[in-house]
Amino acid sequence: MSHKQVRWLLEELPELVGKGVLPAETAERLRQYYGESAGGARGRNRALVAFSILGAALVGSGIILLLAHNWDDLSRAVRTVLSFAPLVCAQAIAAWVLWKRRDSTAWREGAGIALTLAIGATISLIAQTYNISGDFGAFMLTWTLLALPVIYLLDASAAAMLYLVGITAWTADAQFTSGHPLWFWLLVALVLPYLWRVARRNRFDPRAALICWALAVCLGFGTGFCAADMLSNWWTVIYAGVLAAMYLVGEQWFSEAAHWRQRPFQTIGALGGFALTLMLSCRWPWHETIAYGRHDYPLAELPVAIAWLAVAISLWIESLARRRLAGSLFGALPVVAAIAYWLAANNDTGELLAALLFDAFLFVLGVGTLWRGLREDHLGVVNSGMLMLSALIILRFFDSDLSFVVRGLAFIVVGIGFLTTNLVLIRRKGAVA
């Protein structure tokens, strides 16, 4: 096969996997077999897109800094012209890209970043020139809404990421200044058609993955800002639902991805769920939640919590019906959190019972992950299960009265388990190869 044909084949593999034409294992073998010839070209394309985005950001920032250095010495008329100059130049570049370079991802992404930054710069410079009063929240909301069409016109994923960060920043300001942070969900909905369009073509495309990474992180922070009062008392259950829902969404739509970078929702859900489970296996979170939590939260925040829990539980039931081990384990997190919260709030020894329940849940999660890795001969999954069990053991040893001898022996046993399991799997893979 020619170099061009090989490159075409490798670009088609994610879409073939996503449509069920090829299994993920076969696609990975083809990628490894042909990857050496086309890997350099793919790497150059990705580097070109990355450097175009970085270059546009640096050029725009440099121009703004140069203007800022001599800003006070300029007349108001000159400052007005210079304020609009970055925006006009960025619009001209974007128009040229749409006319001549529409098929170039690097040009579209670079122009999208330049135009998005120019919009923000022009707004801030005009406001400073004419002493227009306003606050940070109004500035961010105006900037993001004006930049929204750039995403669709230029098909620019980097601009979509900036938009998500911008509306999250606005939501934080709205929460801290007694605004209306629940508009966050409508603002998120405005960018979802673009994400759907990109993911429909190829949901394993790097651009789709980057947007999903930004969306997952912003949804986590946005939930906290939208339900801040309710979180003071119910954060254990709500964030258990958020992380479980993210993991289950990722398992349903991105489980066939060849690399963890293409599985943003699963990765964030798994890492966040593990961290939350590990933290809730201690007594202090339950003590502070029950003792100092508020009970007079606004009812407007209730739909946010209900929506996340409803999505998580419905996807968990579906995962149970399809007998997916990982989804069945991680999906149980909000149910376990709800039971633990009830125990902590309604028993004299409830804090201890809640912590013990999460000790047991983390143990089952680690053993289940280890078993899945052994069954699938997947070394990464096996090590993830071992890390969960090791983290539980280490944490319990630090908050218990066991002697150093017992702790040392336990560490040795865990270490031997790591080495033995990895050695067995490596030999098994070598025998299969």
Q: Where in the chain are the domains?
A: 227-433
> Which of these ranges, 26-30, 274-278, 386-390, 418-422, has the smallest mean pLDDT?
418-422
- Mind listing the pLDDT tens digit for each residue in 60-89? 667 666 666 666 667 778 888 878 888 998
Q: Report d(CA 91, CA 111) in Å as an integer.
A: 8
DSSP helix/strand/coil, 344: helix
The residues, any chain, with a CB within 8 Å of residue 30's CB and separated by 6 or more, are 9, 10, 13, 22
Q: Determine phi and psi for 74, rounding to 5 degrees.
A: -95, 150
Check residue 432 and give its pLDDT.
43
Whose tokens are 């979509």? That residue is 160
Taking phi first (over 0 means left), then psi (-120 to 50 degrees means alpha), and beta for anything else, what does residue 323 get?
Answer: left
Q: Report d(CA 66, CA 60) in Å as an integer.
A: 10
This prediction's pTM: 0.79
pLDDT of 431 strictly over 60: no
Q: Shortest CA distance to 215 belongs to which of 253, 235, 187, 252?
A: 187
DSSP helix/strand/coil, 2: coil
- Mind listing the pLDDT tens digit for each residue in 274-327? 999 999 988 888 887 776 665 666 777 888 889 999 999 999 999 998 888 888
Instruction: Specify which of 96-110, 139-153, 257-271, 378-392 reaches the highest per-range mean pLDDT.
Output: 139-153
Check residue 363 and give its pLDDT.
86
Whose tokens are 């058609």? That residue is 193
Average pLDDT over all residues of the chain: 81
pLDDT of 174 strictly over 80: yes
Whose tokens are 């125990």? That residue is 343
Six-digit token string for 345: 């709030």
